[in-house]
Amino acid sequence: MEIKVLKNIMHANQQIAQDNRKAFDEKGITVINIMASPGAGKTSTILKVIDALKGKVGMGVIEGDIASSIDAEKVDALGIPVIQINTGGGCHLDANMIKTVMPDLNIEDNSIVFIENVGNLVCPSTFDLGESIKMVIASVPEGHDKPFKYTSMFEAADIIVLNKTDLMPYIDFHKEMFYKGVQALSQKAVVIEVSCRTGEGIDSLVKCLMKKHNKVR
Ligand SMILES: Nc1nc2c(ncn2[C@@H]2O[C@H](COP(=O)(O)OP(=O)(O)OP(=O)(O)O)[C@@H](O)[C@H]2O)c(=O)[nH]1
Ligand SMILES: [Mg+2]
């Protein structure tokens, strides 16, 4: 009985996600579902990418948090359309939430939409939102072993950002082990090392996102 209910929920989410994807594709919109642990640097990365792309491409942001509009306010300060979803305890966004808020985001065709999922390295990976790209952010202080432990998240990723590389000298982070863990799970994921603090690597990330955006359109 329990299992049947769970299956139904997942099926309903998948249906809505497919509808979302179709609607985004028709409008040439690239949607990036950004997933990571709390504090890994989701908002920092979004802000850096917005800064690099402002005036070059239309953009919008959907912020997912259990509570508060702290991150949405940072995006709003850059003059980019943003909507905050508060899940009120839920550990992930789902396709219906995205379907509900998209009309209010009011973005132009051919834009890029960044969805900052709720900080969590497990639950968001299971819920398709209808995105074009799944981007997972790992950060140096979390440790090199995360791909070995949170396999579903790294398995799902199209792009893996390794953030906070400026902290490498202060942390026992074994980069080879991190890459080994990623490669054991995924052949498709591109890994891009960045520091949102120094700005290093952001240009590579922007190039990668624009390449994918141009392919999607
Ligand atoms: N040293 C360093 N700190 C960083 C870097 N990127 C982000 N931070 C800091 O890490 C903290 C968390 O960054 P956020 O971007 O808010 O992380 P988040 O993943 O959006 O966090 P939640 O939304 O709470 O899940 C902030 O204090 C940032 O200033 C980086 O590259 N280097
Ligand atoms: Mg954030």
What confidence tens digit (pLDDT) does each residue in 165-201 have? 999 999 999 999 999 999 999 989 999 999 999 999 9
Q: What is the CATH number of the domain that holds 84?
A: 3.40.50.300
Query: pLDDT value at position 8?
Result: 75
Average pLDDT over residues 154-160: 97
Tell me the pLDDT of the chain averaged across its residues.
Answer: 96
What's the pLDDT tens digit per position in 69-91? 999 999 999 999 999 999 999 99
- Measured by CA distance, the residue closest to atom 13 of ligand 1 is 41
Q: What is the Cα–Cα distance from 56 to 66, expressed in whole angstroms? A: 32
Domain that holds residue 78: 2-216
Tell me, using a 6 A CB cutoff, whether residue 74 lines ligand 1. Answer: no
Stated as kind and residue range, the H or E segment containing 135 is: strand 133-139
Report pLDDT digits (tens) over 88-129. Answer: 999 999 999 999 999 999 999 999 999 999 999 999 999 999
> For the segment 44-70, what is each residue's pLDDT rounded down to a tens digit?
999 999 999 999 999 999 999 999 999
User: DSSP class of residue 20?
Assistant: H
Assigned token pair, 126: 């299971």
For range 9-34, the mean pLDDT: 96
Q: What is the distance in A from the centroid of ligand 1 to the CA of 166?
A: 12
Locate the ligand 1 atom nearest the alpha carbon of residue 40 and give its number: 19
| Cβ(38) – ligand 1 distance below 6 Å | yes
Q: Is the CB of 48 under 6 A from ligand 1?
A: no
pLDDT of 16 above 70: yes
Ligand 1 atom with least separation from CA of 163: 31
211 has pLDDT over 70: yes
> Ligand 1: which of 37, 63, 168, 196 to mutate, most ligand atoms within 8 Å of CB?
196
Query: Which atom of ligand 1 is the closest one to the Cα of 195?
Result: 31
pLDDT at residue 146 greater than cutoff 60:
yes
Between CA 201 and CA 164 the distance in angstroms is 11
Using alpha carbons, select from 81, 41, 83 the residue that is nearest to residue 62: 83
Name residue 190's beta-bridge partners. Answer: 159
What pLDDT sits at residue 182? 98
Name the domain count of the chain: 1
